[in-house]
Amino acid sequence: MKIIIGWLYPDLMSTYGDRGNIICLTKRCQWRDIDVQAKNLTPESSNKDFTDCDIIIGGGAQDRQQGIVIADLLKRKKELAAMLEDGKVGLFVCGSPQLLGHYYETADQKKLPGLGIFDMATHSGFGKPRLIGNLVAKTDLGVIVGFENHSGRTYLGNVKPFGKVLTGFGNNGQDKTEGAWYKNCLATYSHGPLLPKNPHIADWLITKALEQKYHHSITLEKLDDSLEWQAHQFIVNNR
């Protein structure tokens, strides 16, 4: 079995250790003898480079970088939307899901258009404090821990949240929603990076990607995740 991971704009979108998500997925596949290839998707990539990926990963970014990214992403809206609608697996952290909603208003109130794949919108945090700190949320896949640092406030439309905030701010600091879950795509405000501290989420992504690709149910070989769970539990216990 083989998985191709597409990493959206690594030079522009990888804040607070988000590249750890790529390393984590790669290692967890290799430890199980699943072939894995990670591709950097950049403004120079062709659409073919996107469409043969089994998992799409996007990280966080500052407002300036998000402005550069959206100009390129809008050119790929058709391909990316079709893939995600079709059940392709995705994980989008902070700055990248902001661009997959209807729009993102930057901290200085500039409105960037989004791809509208997730029915949500992000309002400017102008004049308000940044939402920073450890984040703990309860999801249908188990508790997740992460670190958030954003000014944007995201409000969901007709899309379910990824989780409910137990500690931290999540989407907007008001309604206790954290991230969004659309088909096989997860959106979250959790950097950290997310996957090494939450191996259950990493394995959910790998399982879903293999099931989508090979059309049968997959049970992954168990790994020794005792260190990962200690790191996870430390955050839960000290919140």
Q: Which is nearer to ligand GLN, 15 or 177 (CB)?
A: 15
Distance CA 29, CA 199 (A): 12
Residue 95 sits in the site that holds ligand GLN (CB under 6 A): yes
Q: 24, 53, 94, 185: which is the annotated catalytic residue?
A: 94
Residue 97 sits in the site that holds ligand GLN (CB under 6 A): no
Give yes or no: 200 in active site: no
Residue 203 sits in the site that holds ligand GLN (CB under 6 A): no
Which residue has 């809008």 as its token pair? 74
Residue 146 sits in the site that holds ligand GLN (CB under 6 A): no
- Candidate residues 28, 150, 197, 208; the one interacting with ligand GLN per rule CB under 6 A: 150
- DSSP classification of residue 75: G
Piece of the chain touching ligand GLN by CB under 6 A; list 58-66, 84-92, 109-117, 166-174:
58-66
Residue 232 sits in the site that holds ligand GLN (CB under 6 A): no
Q: Which is nearer to ligand GLN, 34 or 56 (CB)?
A: 56
Give yes or no: 53 in active site: no
Residue 26 sits in the site that holds ligand GLN (CB under 6 A): no
Residue 62 sits in the site that holds ligand GLN (CB under 6 A): yes
Give yes or no for a contact between 19 and 10, defined as CB atoms under 8 angstroms apart. yes
Buried-state track 5-30, b at ≥16 Cβ within 10 A, e below 16 = bbbbbbebbbbbbbbbbbebbbebbe
Helix (H) or strand (E) holding 212: helix 199-214
CA distances from 128 to 13, 153, 165, 218 (A): 23, 10, 20, 45
Number of residues that bind ligand GLN (CB under 6 A): 12
Distance CA 136, CA 79 (A): 33
Residue 80 has which token pair?
A: 């990316």
What residues line the site for ligand GLN (CB under 6 A)? 15, 60-63, 66, 94-95, 149-152
- Active site members: 94, 191
